[in-house]
Amino acid sequence: MAKRNKGLSSSLSSSSSVSELKEKLRGLVKKIVEEEDEDEANDDGDGYTIETTIDEAIATLSAIKDLKKKKKNNKNNNNNNKNQKRSSSFSDKLLDEIVVPPEFRCPISTELMRDPVILATGQTYDRPFIQRWLNEGHRTCPQTQQVLSHSILTPNYLVRDMIVQWCKEHGIELPKPARDIDEAVTNADKDRLNLLLHKLSLSVPDQKEAAKELRMLTKRMPSFRTLFVESGNVIPQLLSPLTTGKAYAHPDLHEDLITTILNLSIHDDNKKLFAEDPAVIPLLIDALESGTIQTRSNAAAAIFTLSAIDSNKHIIGKSGAIKHLLDLLDEGNQSAMKDAASAIFNLCLVHENKGRTVKEGGVQVILKKIMDNVLVDELLAILALLSSHPKAVEEIGDLGAVPCLLGIIRESASERSKENCVAILHTVCYSDRTKWKEIREEEKANGTLSKLAQCGTSRAKRKATGILERLNRSVYLTHTA
């Protein structure tokens, strides 16, 4: 009976509200009270006894108890979540409502100090902000402008203890000091960013001035890269001259904005944010297609840094960027080719992008550059990745790559190049018997693979030995036949 009541209680509590259950309970109690004076508590004709009514009433009471307990727990959890959120966000709302004593605020950031330190002049600052001031080459006190006799920062334990006590009294949890001094963000940084973003919505001269400064700041100051994670609606403002088309008529503005995206993409927390924004990748592709050579190179570099995250590799691959990266690789500017090659390599770490690269003629473009002795190390690494794709192996054989790869193993001083060459040949050897003759003749004339099997890297030795064993077995089988 208890088990039955428990099951019924569970069913009721999952499908009813407290008010509905109370109403049901009133009806059941009324029925029990009215029948209590009767002589019998037997079946009332339709299989429903007074015992059944009592059981249902008990189950309903239990369900009401469960719902009230659940509601109380949810309320406690919500309060805990709110408290955690308040702590992790440095009790921002609370700090806005409470007047922080001026002596607890850093003169640079104007925010409550986490790690107060004393400068040589006796002034107290929050460590990350004064350290950044010193790292930028300043040798004066920001407040007094006195020249510093030394740059040693001494912990101000007295102020620290006073801040901790003040936080306890006001229910504020003091966060840990910033781990990365360079990423400490001041209110002045935020104001500066907002001003520059506003300028991007004004005239072309204002846009050029703002874009140039943003390019410089995002290159030199990691804190500015951090700001883009923390601030909302920043990316559309940054991209507005590009999305409206105004930047394309001004190559310097176009280059500065694309380079700013590159600088911002360096920050790990920005990678996903930028790649998932629907405008960023298409604008980088536009830059690959129609920008100056420097703009195109920087767009390729931005794609490379964004592709560090696997989910971004899929987004970029589906966008059609690989074709434009191959076009840039094919054209011949050394710096731009290297950026394009780096991006293609990263993207091809995802299998589906290998197929896209092969489909866009990647094998032919890459082999042509290798045969011209251009970026050999980098491009062999890509070709080794692509060689796991059947169509790529077929093209490698058809395009006469085998003699070229054997020649690199024989003549190159780069262990990395030799390793990638023999890895590609190993795949070709196992996929295309028609290439065995070329490999065997090279081995007979120069012993290229035998030497590599003796002196190469561990991977190169393994691949070279595998090819030689394959060739030797084929000779044995031919003689036996």
Cα(187)–Cα(62) distance, integer angstroms: 55
Q: Which of 177-186, 256-265, 385-394, 406-415 has the lowest mean pLDDT?
A: 177-186
Cα(187)–Cα(185) distance, integer angstroms: 7
Cα(338)–Cα(365) distance, integer angstroms: 14
Confidence at residue 479, expressed as pLDDT on a 0 to 100 scale: 42
Are the CB atoms for 123 and 143 separated by under 8 Å?
Answer: yes
The 10s digit of each residue's pLDDT in 352-386 is: 999 999 999 999 999 999 999 999 999 999 999 99
Are the CB atoms for 291 and 259 separated by under 8 Å?
Answer: no
Confidence at residue 454, expressed as pLDDT on a 0 to 100 scale: 94
Residue 414: strand, helix, or coil: coil
Number of neighbouring beta carbons within 10 Å of residue 218: 26
Cα(370)–Cα(380) distance, integer angstroms: 7
Write the DSSP string, 216-256.
HHHHH-HHHHHHHHHSTTHHHHHHHHHHTTGGGG-HHHHHH
Six-digit token string for 303: 């794609």
Grade residue 134 by pLDDT with cuts at 50, 70 and 90: confident
Q: What is the dihedral of CA 130, 134, 137, 138, to 10 degrees?
A: 60
Confidence at residue 229, expressed as pLDDT on a 0 to 100 scale: 74
Grade residue 112 by pLDDT with cuts at 50, 70 and 90: confident
The 10s digit of each residue's pLDDT in 137-167 is: 888 999 999 998 888 888 898 999 999 998 8
- pLDDT for residue 417 is more than 80: yes
The 10s digit of each residue's pLDDT in 454-465 is: 999 999 999 999
Cα(259)–Cα(265) distance, integer angstroms: 10
Confidence at residue 36, expressed as pLDDT on a 0 to 100 scale: 47
- Which has the higher per-residue pLDDT, 27 or 221? 221
Cα(370)–Cα(386) distance, integer angstroms: 15
The 10s digit of each residue's pLDDT in 338-357 is: 999 999 999 999 999 999 99
Terminal-to-terminal C-alpha distance of the chain: 83
| Spatial CB neighbours of 461, under 8 Å, sequence gap ≥ 6 | 452, 453, 454
Q: Which of 78-87, 216-225, 293-302, 426-435 has the lowest mean pLDDT?
A: 78-87
- Integer CA distances (angstroms), 390 to 114, 428, 468, in order: 58, 10, 22
Question: Greatest CA span in the chain, whole angstroms?
Answer: 114
pTM of the predicted protein model = 0.66
Residue 240 backbone phi and psi in degrees, to 5: -55, -40
The 10s digit of each residue's pLDDT in 312-335 is: 999 999 999 999 999 999 987 888
- Which has the higher per-residue pLDDT, 415 or 111? 415
Q: At what angle do helices 234-243 and 222-230 cross, to 10 degrees?
A: 100
The 10s digit of each residue's pLDDT in 401-411 is: 999 999 999 99
The 10s digit of each residue's pLDDT in 1-58 is: 444 444 445 544 444 566 766 777 777 777 776 664 444 444 444 444 566 677 677 7
Tell me the H-state helices in 276-386.
280-290, 293-306, 310-319, 321-331, 334-347, 351-359, 362-371, 376-386
| Spatial CB neighbours of 405, under 8 Å, sequence gap ≥ 6 | 421, 422, 424, 425
- Which has the higher per-residue pLDDT, 261 or 180? 261
The 10s digit of each residue's pLDDT in 158-209 is: 999 999 998 888 888 776 665 556 566 777 788 889 999 999 999 999 999 9
- pLDDT for residue 66 is more than 50: yes
The 10s digit of each residue's pLDDT in 67-110 is: 777 666 665 555 554 444 434 444 444 555 578 888 999 998 88
Are the CB atoms for 285 and 321 separated by under 8 Å?
Answer: yes
- pLDDT for residue 64 is more than 70: yes
Confidence at residue 390, expressed as pLDDT on a 0 to 100 scale: 92
DSSP conformation class of 103 = G
Six-digit token string for 113: 């100090």
Write the DSSP string, 148-201.
PS----EE-HHHHHHHHHHHHHTT-PPPPPPS-GGG---HHHHHHHHHHHHHTT
- pLDDT for residue 61 is more than 50: yes
Are the CB atoms for 346 and 313 separated by under 8 Å?
Answer: yes
* Average pLDDT score over residue span 107-126: 90
Confidence at residue 184, expressed as pLDDT on a 0 to 100 scale: 67
- Integer CA distances (angstroms), 122 to 149, 308, 392, in order: 11, 45, 68
Confidence at residue 395, expressed as pLDDT on a 0 to 100 scale: 94
